[in-house]
A and B are shown apart, each in its own frame.
Chain A
Amino acid sequence: MTLTTVLLLAAALIGIGVYGALSQQSFVMLMMGLELMLNGVMLAAIGFWAMSGAGAPEGQLLTILVMAVMAIEMAMGFALVVAVYRGKQADVTESIADLKG
């Protein structure tokens, strides 16, 4: 386990997350892609904290903040899904094309 291998794992998770966020039609699956990306980000932050930053406490703080971002993303995401579903009976991205030019 070196910094490089940890970062490679983080890169793989972020790559899968990017694929998921771009390819999925369902809102909730799309959010899973975002979560997977943040998963990789947190791992990279902890990797840097432990192997490159000499245990500076800010590294852990950053990870806590990413966790908070995840919670916010989840809560707001689901609230929006509920609101959109009530308004349009839509649960896939194709069904709401209001912003399409």
Chain B
Amino acid sequence: MKTSIVVDVAFWLLAVFAVYTGWRVFRTDSMVRASFFLLLSFIAVGVIMLLLSAVYLGVAMFFMMGVEMMVMALFMVMFMMNPAGLNPMMMVHQHRLSIGAGVASFVMLAAMALLAEFPRHPLPNDVQPVAALGNELMGESMLIFESAAVVLLATMIGVVVLSSQRGRFGSAEQGSMPPGLEPGGDPAGMPDEDEQAGGHHHCH
């Protein structure tokens, strides 16, 4: 595939941006920021896909990841500590090992990319990526596509079962106490049982 100088420059800028934002995900102090850095990394990769003339998938990437990272940020604010990034935050374990594993996998994959001989069959000039993908999904690979759909349906059911109000392990509110202020302490922000009962009687 012969690429023009504009495409090359764009690719390198996007590649640096994707790696930088991907790295910032684990280096920022706020979890909301982390999820949006990840979104930026995905968007950069989506634009590279557009440069590689995968017109549908590149755009679908913006779409999917926009919603997905939004949900992620939502969960961050709901559950996790330090969503606003007002305190320094570095929550890691087995740090050296992880860095080693990350570097090792990069070196291994990079060696494969540099050393292996891949066949060179660039895109034909008359390729229509969107139509080809559509025909593949609705033709030859219909069964694969359908099974992905069934798996997604199973996921939806599983998610509802796991997070619904009445599961097989009792009602959801039963266990939902806020954590204590100190480890093992009383739940924070909950009124005493007696007070609650008193208030209840008062209402009647």
Contact = CB atoms under 8 A, between A and B. Distances in A.
Contacts of A54: 121-124
B54 A1 contact: no
B176 interface: yes
Q: Which of B23, B54, B136 has the most CB of A within 10 A?
A: B54
Given A9-B15, A60-B54, A79 B122 contact: no
- For the complex, would chain A's binding face be called helix, strand, loop or mixed by DSSP majority? helix
A49 B41 contact: no
Interface string A78-91: 11111101110101
Interface residues of B, number: 91
A14 B68 contact: no
Contacts of A64: 57, 133, 137, 145, 148
A61 interface: yes
B137 A8 contact: no
A72 B159 CA distance: 10
B152 A71 contact: yes
Size class of the contact patch on chain A: 35 or more
B122 A67 contact: no
A20 B114 CA distance: 24
Given A12-B19, A61-B144, A91-B80, A67 B114 contact: no
Interface of B: 1, 3, 7-8, 11-12, 15, 18-19, 22-23, 25-26, 31, 34-35, 38, 41-42, 45, 48-49, 51-54, 56-57, 60-61, 64, 68, 71-72, 75-76, 79-81, 91-95, 97-99, 101-103, 105-106, 109-110, 112-114, 118-124, 127, 129, 132-133, 135-137, 140-141, 144-145, 148, 151-152, 155-156, 158-159, 162-163, 169, 172, 175-179
Interface of A: 1, 3-20, 22-26, 28-29, 31-33, 35-36, 39, 42-43, 46-55, 57-58, 60-61, 63-65, 67-68, 70-72, 74-76, 78-83, 85-87, 89, 91-94
